[in-house]
Structure 1
Amino acid sequence: MFRLFKNKFRTLKSWEIDVFRELLDQLGVEYKHYIAQLNFIEKVGINRSDIPNLISFIYPTSFYKKFENHKVYNYILENLIIKDLHSTRNIVITLYFAHNIFLGYSSDLKYSTFECDNKNIFYGDIKKKVWGEEGFRLIKKYLTSAELKHINRSEVYISSIEGVEYFHLKELSDGDFLGVNNNGVFFIVTHDPLEMKEITRVFACHILQFGNEPFN
């Protein structure tokens, strides 16, 4: 069954442009090229998805020929915290990217009830997560078919630590997790203190199957 959406559109607001220019600039070099894409947005769609409070960007057809790149995987950035300009509320923002295109954003508040302050953006708890089946597809490079059987697809996302990206494979206790880097090396990443402990593949397989149970 298909869900029908009302045609709810508006133009991109000036505060949204200011916020995303600042945000994409501060996120680093790999995000700066998305700033130019803001100039191509013709309008935005409101709640035209099953994703709650989604604001989706609508570009002209010619835009996709210039920017779209199917070699770039789809991902989201979660847990961006931005202050409401007119109150003391924190707004939790998620950004959506697919095939090198900035698709839009969602928030934990209804879209018409806030205005983000571009001078009060907090980046400390951001999580970069591959979107849909992308994460599972990407980790197939590093795991065997037997190991993949023990992966919960919903737990797979990319965590950037000190400029290095790790695939989050399994949540452990106290915020720790089992990860693998782009070289196929396994780590236990501890939360407090923040450390990356390299482990053997055998130990990693044990954790995938049995979690934190003692390893003999």
Structure 2
Amino acid sequence: MTIRDSATGQRTTLLRVTTATWLLLVSAVVLVDHMALSGLAEQAQASAPTAQVSLLESRLEGLSHRIEQRHTQPAALPQARYEQDTAALDQRLAAIELAQAQYAATDALHALETRVTRLEARPVSRQPKLPAPRPSQSVAAQPKPVEPSFRLIGVELRAGEHFVSVMPADGTGLADVRLLRAGESEGGWRLDGIERDGAVFRQGDEIRRLPIPPR
């Protein structure tokens, strides 16, 4: 019985020592964690004001920039001031136009008066009346001699017979040339005869000799 009681006492003592050791280790771990968490909290509290200050500084810079831009921009003209200045300008323009019109009318009137004065100052000259022209006796117009409406181009001999080639006055090419023998007519003129240096044409009592142009 004594040996069993001694062994049981040793086991109980060993268990208590082991439990106390574990409790110490757990307490040490908890203490270390608590200290680490406290350090992190202090760091977070220290860094929070710094971030807020940076944010406020950036916003302050933006406001300063906007204020500077406002100062550099020209001040807007109020609507009432604009309408007042516009009305005054319109009145001045109307007055200037009226004055110019009056000056122009005055200058024109002065020029007209000057011309009238000069005309009145001229001496009146009496000119003798010219006799009325006598009606001229009508002279009988002589009829203009009628001329052929064609011209002589030349004389040709074909098959032992003489022909004359004529072209209208407004002809331009060989297509307008026509051959005439004695007795044929062109433009109301009849070919009476062919001579060495020309041709004789007759129209009623009128006779024309057309010379052959030199070649």
TM-score (norm 2): 0.15
* Structure having greater relative contact order (Cα 8 Å, sep ≥ 6): 1
Pair member with larger Rg: 2
TM-score (norm 1): 0.15
- Between structures 1 and 2, the one with greater strand share: 1
